[in-house]
Amino acid sequence: LALLFLRRLEVPVVLTDIDQERVDKGVGYVHSEIDKLLGKGRINQDKANRLKALVTGVLDKAEGFADADFIIEAVFEEIGVKQ
């Protein structure tokens, strides 16, 4: 979802998770997908840099989403997390 919003809308995207390691992994995944697009020639280096700059990760939801206009929550099928 983060990559879709980045590519189509080019808006800032903030990812969060239960610990910093997972936040870093999520941001890293989005960055690697952008690199794949760059490698395939679908975007140029300038656009890749702009897209990567738009994605960040936070642990503190109150701070990270304070100025958000739109929030999407996606949780794997794990009842404990959803509750």
Q: Tell whether 71 is covered by a domain.
A: no
Q: Tell whether 72 is covered by a domain.
A: no
Question: Does 37 have pLDDT greater than 70?
Answer: yes
Q: Tell whether 83 is covered by a domain.
A: no
Question: Does 75 have pLDDT greater than 80?
Answer: no
Structural domain harbouring 8: 2-66
What average pLDDT does range 40-46 have in this prediction?
97
- In total, how many domains does the chain have? 1
- pTM of the predicted model, to two decimals? 0.82
CA 66 to chain centre: 16
Q: Which of 46, 83, 80, 62 lies closest to 14, judged by CA?
A: 62
What average pLDDT does range 9-21 have in this prediction?
93
